[in-house]
Structure 1
């Protein structure tokens, strides 16, 4: 798999410029076409945000043209609510930002939550306040639990994993051991794709939860991206991101690539 079409969602919020900057860097790295999709609400076209909302198309086109990228631009209708209406199906990667508490009203509320589980496309979620200046995809942690969702996330992230300088396979399990056959199988599978993953397992003794253990490992490894599955089948955000995934996104401090 290669990233040939990348969608970046655009809005009038303060995080949009950095999101576009990051999307341009990723598209250039993978020689992909960048598709900007304006997901502004009707409210964004009123009051103080109006000028910024009206400038979204020109600013996006100027940035991608300066980068020399092939691109498209689409403006989604404010009432759009499906992956098709938000131009998400014909893409290999979606890029958005964790909703800013002060700017949620400026962007369509189905992004990221509902689109992630309906588009069938992996989504890179950037943290609120992301500047676009930090490294992304140089040191990657895979949050692995042998599930369908984490399996999908690994394969969806393969172009990034293959280009990374370091990849860490984080497994949180009661019986974790580097020598376990299932652990060695996923490690071998990654190696067959040219990804040399270092094992970073954590034996679950009941004294800490998955998210705390994961971030303790991230502090040690100075990771810049987490790859994980998004769990659940309901279109409701609370169900989709239940349990560890919900905790992870509520405490997002670095980019997370998720698949459902």
Structure 2
């Protein structure tokens, strides 16, 4: 069961979609919700320090502190409205230190909720989400920045490729899958394929009291796996995707693209990932 949830609190927004989604998730499971609010420090290289006026730095520090306090207050109001047990933790740190600290915190939570990076509003979300996914060792639930609905998981698509990250994601997603009405094991295949792989996933889920169907979609070498997954999500009207994150090294994924990065940039429903 999910009893302990962590969420990263957004700043500079009127509505924190990850915060509200995490509150609804906690209410569904009767879980405790912890929000982390960061007052980001200005990370200025030493050779630039002399070029920045002291009053500018002081003003920026005060602005970031105020933004953190506003995020904390918004979180407390959202959690109180949901009627859940909650607490706020605060941290003053640079983005890199904050991301690593958040990942370390996440190791002692059942699931961590973060927001998808918004390409029209650059912020810390991309660094936070990638770091917690790679370094926490736990499941990460990424919420689209356009999310409006509270948590629901009536129809889930499990993107299965047989990899270690996919196996971790499936195991961590079991409490969520028990809330669904329909589970589909979706397999994107290229070339020769093991027809029994999907059936083995269905067998495993059946032992957990879950009924699932398998759908296999062959794609050509030039076709996008991420697009195939997202198209299936749209076709099925799914409201949750479960998949492994970063099957290759993060550096390689950053250089050549990769399914994880493409999903993170184009996802339209919440995605539970694990590495």
| TM-score (norm: length of structure 2) | 0.81
Mapping 1:162-181, distance limit 5 Å = 162-173=178-189, 174-176=191-193, 180-181=195-196
Could you say what the CA RMSD is over the residues aligned between the two structures, in angstroms?
Answer: 2.7
Does 1:38 pair with 2:53? no
Point out the structure with the larger helix share.
2
Structure-2 change in CA distance of 1:21 and 1:39 (3 Å): same
Q: Name the SS of the counterpart of 1:76 in structure 2.
A: strand
Does 1:229 pair with 2:244? yes
Q: Which residue of 2 aligns with 1:69?
A: 84
Q: Which residue of 2 aligns with 1:6?
A: 5
The answer (yes or no) to whether the contact 1:20–1:60 under 8 Å persists in 2 is yes
Unmatched 5+ stretches in structure 2: 43-59
Describe the superposition over 1:215-254 as per-residue Cα deviations: whole angstroms up to 9, x where unpaired: 2222221111111101256565944994222222221222
Structure-2 change in CA distance of 1:225 and 1:116 (3 Å): same
Unmatched 5+ stretches in structure 1: none
Q: 1:110 aligns with which of 101, 108, 127?
A: 127
Structure-2 change in CA distance of 1:108 and 1:251 (3 Å): closer
Structure-2 change in CA distance of 1:172 and 1:136 (3 Å): same
Describe the superposition over 1:116-163 as per-residue Cα deviations: whole angstroms up to 9, x where unpaired: 1111111111112222x2663221111100110100000011111111
Q: CA deviation at 1:208?
A: 2.8
Greater mean alpha carbon deviation, residues 134-143 or residues 29-38: 134-143
Q: Which residue of 2 aligns with 1:256?
A: 271
Q: CA deviation at 1:110?
A: 3.2
Q: Which residue of 1 aligns with 2:139?
A: 122
Q: Name the SS of the counterpart of 1:77 in structure 2.
A: strand
Q: Which residue of 2 aligns with 1:82?
A: 100
Q: Which residue of 2 aligns with 1:98?
A: 116
Q: CA deviation at 1:114?
A: 1.2
The whole-number CA distance in structure 1 between the counterparts of 2:200 and 2:80 is: 44
The answer (yes or no) to whether the contact 1:230–1:241 under 8 Å persists in 2 is no
The answer (yes or no) to whether the contact 1:166–1:196 under 8 Å persists in 2 is yes
Aligned residues: 254
Q: 2:230 aligns with which of 195, 205, 215?
A: 215
- Greater Cα radius of gyration, structure 1 or 2: 2
Does 1:136 pair with 2:152? yes
Question: Which ranges of 4 or more aligned residues in structure 1 deviate by more than 6 Å?
Answer: none
